[in-house]
Amino acid sequence: MLTHALDRYLPEVSSTKRATTADAEGHKAKALKQSLGAYSLAAVTPDLVAQYRDERLAIGKSNNTVRLELALLSHLFTIAIQEWRMGLFYNPVTNVRKPTPGKGRDRRLKADEERCLFQACDQHSNPMLGWITRIALFTGMRAGEIKSLTHAQVDLDKRTVHLTETKNGSSRTVPLTRNATEVFRAALNHPVRPLDTDLLFWGEPGRDGLRRPYEFRPAWVRTLRKVGIQGLRFHDLRHEAVLRLVEAGLGDQEVSAISGHKSMQMLKRYTHLRVEDLVARLDGVMG
């Protein structure tokens, strides 16, 4: 087994994980397979891993991207040693210095950008793009959580959405603002709805005849390019939503219950207020 190339085993590491996690790790695995895929697991040395790290950084990949790629590679070796009993002596990734964690993103969505973004999304041929974009900004839900939503998870009377597939594996119930409720109402009342899926945001059937979630990201990227919005990622909408909750005066526990952050330390990455907001609040408190 030691003679098999590394790229033979990378897909197996993610095969038992949730679809959204496996998909994300699949993107990270591409770079690893391209550079190290021809090596057998036994032939991968700390020097090779360090060389991979330096090459990825040299072409402009972020510290966090490279850290995640190395984490996936390290996980592969851990599984190979502990579960597959492949006879490897050590995990070569543990002996390599990882890039320092990058600074958390602080990209805010400006009012004029929000207006242009919604207008452009509404002009798209598929109304789901606009609904998904608004839901991300109005609720702080992750892209994977939104894409996997079904009818049964949305309760318009209680104004809640019950999430069963989340990044940290725990279910949570998200309260809806009036704006968010209206978006969900429009999505639920979509007049063109196939009978072969309960997905709220569905795509065309695949070669196997099954419908999967609507893959909105290509349309999202084209829409940003069309209106000239630069440096905005879809995940920044979640970041913006959480910041707005903080700025509205909600406490950490309340924000965590809505956003699903288990760690208060992780939440603090999102809950830094803008300096001008702090100045205004100081004026109101201290005069």
User: Position 53: which residue type?
Assistant: R
- Number of H-type helices and E-type strands within the chain: 13, 5
Identify whether the C-beta of residue 156 lies closer than 8 Å to the C-beta of residue 185: yes
Q: Is 32 exposed, middle or buried (0-12, 13-18, 19+ CB in 10 A)?
A: buried
Q: Which of 28, 53, 238, 239 is catalytic?
A: 238
Q: Which of 217, 235, 268, 272 is catalytic?
A: 235
Which residues, listed in sequence order, are joined to residue 150 by a DSSP beta bridge?
A: 199
Q: Are strands 160-163 and 172-175 parallel, antiparallel or unpaired?
A: antiparallel
Q: What is the 3-state secondary structure (H, E, C) of 136-193?
A: HHHHCCCHHHHHCCEHHHEECCCCEEEECCCCCCCCEEEECCHHHHHHHHHHHCCCCC
Show the tokens assigned to 29.
Answer: 């695995």
Q: How far apart are CA 159 and CA 155, in angstroms?
A: 6
Whether 85 is a known active-site residue: answer: no
Nearest-5° angle of CA 260, CA 132, CA 181? Answer: 75
Whether 235 is a known active-site residue: answer: yes
Q: Which residues have a Cβ under 8 Å from the Cβ of 151 and sit 6 or more positions away?
A: 188, 198, 200
Whether 239 is a known active-site residue: answer: no
Other Cβ atoms closer than 10 A to 218: 8
Q: Which of 28, 53, 142, 147 is catalytic?
A: 142
Q: Which of 61, 167, 233, 262 is catalytic?
A: 167
Whether 238 is a known active-site residue: answer: yes
Whether 27 is a known active-site residue: answer: no
- Enumerate the active-site residues: 142, 167, 235, 238, 261, 270
